[in-house]
Structure 1
């Protein structure tokens, strides 16, 4: 299993795809295959983000070493039909790649985030990457490098906690890093060490697990079980950093494989709330990946416009103002995987329209406070073709389009 794309690789077997065409995505087979799957304080995050690393001092993006032509601020993206959501927090999702990038790759990747106008980068923080044996203390050197590079560019880090090493997993699912820890207290000890280390370096945003409402919580989603971990880990985070902002792990809107284990966001949040889990978090993570026009996609309607929406669940739980963080959404280029090749360029053009529509629709929804794009760059080997950059490193038109949308939104701030 490719650790660089750890929590996405299990979608490779999914036969479904979303075909993007004429600005509208059409499902080829069941599920919502556009998805690449795997209160608290305030909507804005930590009330005080101290730290000593200068993370709040934006720096220049530099020139980077990107291949292809770097889109400039003079993008041809129209401003007439783009949203101007001044209040959105902007983020770019890198999965686990930054942790294993070479210095040049890391520089290029984060320079691009800065050029785009991003506020955040979302990065996996996998336990297995830092403590391979119970006999040795964690080695955080790889993540130190990522945090230092993000701080130098004024980018905040949202770290997704999960992925226990084999020695710490439950017996029932030892073969996958999607397996919950055998002992939440042992996991909490690791997390507390990490948060103490990185709160001093300006990292205050933590997402507990990724898509726990599907089989990314192996072997089956279990909201009561997840709540036990969430409460334990949240307490460890807050003990190490009283200013931390804790998100419930980004919930999948659907599962790309028809018939696969799936608990709807409404049902999952309701169950977590009944078990007392909402008191442990400051916000809800959600991954809508629309099938079709976002305005009509069930995955977007599930935020606030269906009887069993996320907002309905929050209202019923007595947390109507809890913020919803879109920590992943995107639009893929399925012709790269399933063909025909002649559709690649039209789908890339349609991806631009999809970016605009997703921002426009999400910015109109109550409680939605962020927009994180998945992903930075394609990984065709794992059928992940959602990137702003192609697998060969060249830039898609969607890079310039998103850059312009963010710039337009920030002009109104």
Structure 2
């Protein structure tokens, strides 16, 4: 693992303040983790039309290369969170990032589609040790007043990773084949993994959990599953991420077909819309302190849905404009929702010995958010392929817009308005 020991926790540790050396190192380390994670996870998204042609498979089948990876991630985020409670956030994240990088380097060697799916599943399972733990790590090591802004900066960093993976894989894949495209991204991810291992500072706010049985470990999930605020945020993650992945999975197929007939390298440029998310995620996290989390979340969903509607229009410039608004709205919503999840710390039940309640199950709460997030990516991202294949882009937009309305209604009904800077 990344560290051989866990230093004794400092019960008076207030967290790194914004602008301090520790704060900057944590954000840089998590930027590297975000690049390594999301470049690998979604690199094949820019190659889906090439995969469909090269392996002679349909668009929904090609989309499975994304879905199986996100399923693998979703089912392992909770086991990774238990390991992190025992061994520490940074060591477990280091182990996960090393394993994922090794699998990413092996994936291009897959001899057929079935083996590729297996490799992508294993890669996703390894990557499950990073996203949820990153948010828990931030909330333990950064002062509370700056944690929301730090979470926004981390989400902004994940957009850089997602953008880099797609922009690199598409043009290289068109020139040298999809295998070389995936390999190029894996090499960059390996360099980012090294950056995380070097930069991540020793934790000071983490308290190792004692070794417990399976029933006690599972009991750590119960407070989060009983909290309607957290359940609402999990629903937001499922719906919004599913819609987001659906648009990017199948937009390439739309733009490579008549009347647009764009080449793969040109289609890869649509991922530049991620830069809007890099900006909006930090902006939303900062603004939520003043305007309130729920208000910014609802506004972000509205922007996302409006952008989606614009993509239904025929002119290419309007499609790209709609994609920018859609992407900005999504990452703003995700920044607010993920940071909110990290700040809600359900307390675990009193122990059998009658001791005081244990420390909050922050890693489990964040892991359930990520389980929902990637379950939505897998389920909605795959199922929407059939809507697109059989009914076209306008039908896909209508279905996803309805999901946006459902997400907004869930936020209104279940999430507290609170006062600005608090929200429940």
TM exceeds 0.5? no
More strand by share: 1
TM-score if structure 2 supplies the norm length?
0.26
**Larger radius of gyration between Structure 1 and Structure 2:** 2
